[in-house]
Structure 1
Amino acid sequence: MTSPPVTAAALVRRRTWWHTGAVLAVLLCAVYLGGRHWPLVASGAGRLAAADRGWLLVGAAAALATWACAALAQQGAVAERLPGARLLAAQFAASAANHVLPAGLGAGAVNLRFLMRCGLPAGRSASALAVKAAAGALTRAVLIAVLAAACPGVLRFPHLPGTTVAAALAAAAVVIVLLRGPLRSGCGRVLGAVLADIRAVHRRPQRAAALWGGSLAFAAAHCLVLIAVTHAVRLPLAPARVALLYLAASSAAALLPTPGGLGSLDAALAFALTTAGAPGAEAASAVLGYRLLTVWLPLVPGLLVLGALIRRRAV
């Protein structure tokens, strides 16, 4: 016995229910996060009440610039022209979603859906995200190397015995040998698609400039947020040192799959600032101020924008 065919009206109703459910889930998530973390937001605002308002405004402007930089880098990762207003809104929403799901899954999911809604196939959308991530990682590594050379002695890498390094390399070699077949077939296809997109982007100088310029500006804008907050709380550290400590701490915190680095980045950043000579109270205020400008203040508006984009089927 065959089931009756699904009518177009039934499909529309079903899709409407799914979108409505997604919007309600986003709104409930916004209310839950706001209520759960409100004491932290209030505490951070209280500690920053005596800070320099001018420098806090500079930090807020830099935080706003991070979403424009992310949109520029995402546009540079694809050859097709993306709708500018929706692209910027998607980056704002992705930054909020990134603080709900671990290890960048929220931002990746929002951007993947946005690119697919713009007409890109799923494979090309995923490779565009990989191109953007690779450019961001390479830009961050170059910035760390340049700042480490300009500020010698700031970064102190732990000493590892030779036997530990040799054991880690041997274990990696064994894993590669055991997974050689699956890695060659699966990773080969993924790497080929990413390299093809990289070549397509770099055949258009405007796209390449947007990709690398946006990636560089994104990292620099985050550094500027923390530099502005350290000036606001009168933390006695040079701006280049603060930028280097932020890049190193955020890179280390990215290894821990917490939503948006919550907890891991706070601890790593506070530890980096205090080991560089900052007093504990000022370092804690700087971390709270950075989080207030980049996470807590834009979190609920970002989730509301995400809900609006879902309802309009832009993601």
Structure 2
Amino acid sequence: MTQHAVPEAAHDVPAPALVTSPVGLAATIGRRRAYWPSLVCLAVLPGAAYLARRHWPAVETGALRLAVADQGWLLVGAAAAVSTWAASALAQQGAVARRLPGSRLVAAQFAASAANHLLPAGLGAGAVNLRFLMRCGLPAGRSAGALAVKATAGAVVRLALIAVLAPLCPGLLRVPHVSPSALAAVLGAAALLAVLLTGPLRPRCRRALAAVLPDIRAVHACPARAAALWGGSLTFAALHCLVLIAVGQAVELPLAPLQVALLYLAASGAAALLPTPGGLGSLDAALALGLTVSGAPAATAASAVLGYRLLTVWLPLLPGLLVLALLVRRKAL
């Protein structure tokens, strides 16, 4: 019997062609994008540890003050912290045209908040939410577009809140002194970015915008979805402000609630420029500095920041990781 020869073309299939699926390509791009934020994280966290060690007496006094704080206000802060996950779920539902499973959506936001404190620049929360939306049947492109819509709405809401609160707290936010060299560096970076966006990156930006615009139109074509997106984003930011306000009241922070809210919004916006996991180190330093410069004693400001972090990060961290493992086990992620 004559044996049929195997066509050589079957052996000539390039290996990379076997791993060019959209999911594999997205994972590769995600790893490349995580490289530089991870380096920045490694540079920022030791600096935060150095500052904590240098100012350890104030930190220690703040922790002791927090231990004897008003328990009623701390419970209010804890309730607000728990409610942030429902607000985040509402905003995520508003960014998607189709109906998502409510209980799993809230659980995914809880798990995403824990994962967000393990990876820099929000990569942990983004990966969890992206996987959840894809498990709910959305294509990878639509899932990424929904995350972009939610993030944009959150940023717009925070800027709008700062614009509303700043006139109500005159003199609280001061424009920092910028040296001519720093100003020149910022202008140079802006010019370079403008050149890139109008040159090599223009096709990619147009493709990304063309992919997101249909989702934005679909969401805002349904009033209920638009209300969920913007209402959830507004509630999420307001609840985080309420957590800090409640902790501040518990430790007798000598600042008005509106001042505390404005300082939190400004500090969280500044901390976003340093992509540490969950803003650890960057947000703490910016928030403590803002409270202290605004007239709060250093120990009281440290107590407020520690209490805020305790309610929003450290206490929910282990349960959030357990929920994350459970969702993975049940193939919800």
The answer, yes or no, to whether TM exceeds 0.5 is yes
Q: Distance in 1 between matches of 2:315 and 2:229?
A: 27
Q: Distance in 2 between matches of 1:285 and 1:44?
A: 4
Q: In structure 2, the residue corresponding to 1:73 is in which secondary structure? A: helix
TM-score, with length taken from structure 1: 0.84
Aligned residues: 280
CA contact (8 A) 1:223 1:242 kept: yes
**What is the deviation of 1:174?**
3.7
Say whether residues 1:73 and 2:106 are aligned partners. Answer: no
**What is the deviation of 1:195?**
1.6
Counterpart position of 2:174:
156
**What is the deviation of 1:267?**
0.6
Q: Which amino acid aligns with 1:142?
A: A
Counterpart position of 1:196:
214
Q: Which moved more, 1:181-190 or 1:86-95?
A: 181-190
Q: Which runs of 5+ in 1 are unaligned?
A: 4-36
**What is the deviation of 1:48?**
1.9
**What is the deviation of 1:158?**
1.3
Q: Which moved more, 1:191-200 or 1:171-180?
A: 171-180
- Selected match of 1:260 from 278, 282, 295: 278
CA contact (8 A) 2:77 2:242 kept: yes
Q: Distance in 2 between matches of 1:292 and 1:225?
A: 10
Say whether residues 1:303 and 2:291 are aligned partners. Answer: no
Q: Which amino acid aligns with 2:226?
A: A
Q: Which amino acid aligns with 1:203?
A: A
How has the CA–CA distance of structure 1 residues 117 and 45 changed in structure 2, closer, same or farther, with 3 Å as cutoff?
farther
**What is the deviation of 1:102?**
0.4
Say whether residues 1:208 and 2:222 are aligned partners. Answer: no
Counterpart position of 2:41:
none
Q: Distance in 1 between matches of 2:81 and 2:61?
A: 20
Q: Which amino acid aligns with 2:156?
A: L
CA contact (8 A) 1:44 1:289 kept: no
Q: Distance in 1 between matches of 2:302 and 2:232?
A: 30
**What is the deviation of 1:193?**
1.5
Q: Distance in 1 between matches of 2:246 and 2:86?
A: 19
Q: Which moved more, 1:280-289 or 1:156-165?
A: 156-165
Counterpart position of 1:137:
155
**What is the deviation of 1:238?**
0.1
**What is the deviation of 1:49?**
2.0
- Selected match of 1:169 from 177, 187, 195: 187
CA contact (8 A) 2:63 2:303 kept: no
How has the CA–CA distance of structure 1 residues 313 and 51 changed in structure 2, closer, same or farther, with 3 Å as cutoff?
same
Say what the alpha-carbon RMSD is for the aligned residues: 2.3
How has the CA–CA distance of structure 1 residues 271 and 164 changed in structure 2, closer, same or farther, with 3 Å as cutoff?
closer
CA contact (8 A) 1:97 1:110 kept: yes
Say whether residues 1:56 and 2:74 are aligned partners. Answer: yes
Q: Which amino acid aligns with 1:72?
A: L
Q: Distance in 2 between matches of 1:295 and 1:44?
A: 17
- Give a deviation string over 1:27-75, Cα, whole Å, max 9, x none: xxxxxxxxxx9xx9x9976542210010000000000110000000000
CA contact (8 A) 2:135 2:332 kept: yes
- Give a deviation string over 1:208-255, Cα, whole Å, max 9, x none: 000000000000000000000000001111000000000000110111
Q: Which moved more, 1:63-72 or 1:153-162?
A: 153-162
Counterpart position of 1:22:
none
**What is the deviation of 1:90?**
0.1
How has the CA–CA distance of structure 1 residues 307 and 176 changed in structure 2, closer, same or farther, with 3 Å as cutoff?
same
Select the structure of larger CA radius of gyration. Answer: 2
Q: Which amino acid aligns with 1:180?
A: T
- Selected match of 1:91 from 101, 109, 115: 109
TM-score, with length taken from structure 2: 0.79
Counterpart position of 1:128:
146
**What is the deviation of 1:185?**
1.1
Q: Which moved more, 1:69-78 or 1:179-188?
A: 179-188
Identity between Structure 1 and Structure 2 (%): 75
**What is the deviation of 1:180?**
3.3
CA contact (8 A) 2:65 2:251 kept: no
Q: Which amino acid aligns with 1:111?
A: N
Q: Distance in 1 between matches of 2:190 and 2:313?
A: 36
How has the CA–CA distance of structure 1 residues 187 and 233 changed in structure 2, closer, same or farther, with 3 Å as cutoff?
same
- Selected match of 1:222 from 228, 240, 256: 240
CA contact (8 A) 2:116 2:278 kept: yes
**What is the deviation of 1:182?**
3.1
Q: In structure 1, the residue corresponding to 2:295 is in which secondary structure? A: coil
Q: Which amino acid aligns with 2:116?
A: N
Q: Distance in 2 between matches of 1:45 and 1:312?
A: 39
Counterpart position of 1:113:
131
Q: How do residues 213-292 of structure 1 correspond to structure 2 at under 5 angstroms?
A: 213-292=231-310
Q: Which moved more, 1:68-77 or 1:194-203?
A: 194-203
Q: Which amino acid aligns with 2:142?
A: R
CA contact (8 A) 1:44 1:292 kept: no
**What is the deviation of 1:179?**
5.5
**What is the deviation of 1:163?**
7.2
Q: Distance in 2 between matches of 1:230 and 1:178?
A: 44
Counterpart position of 1:100:
118
CA contact (8 A) 2:117 2:124 kept: yes
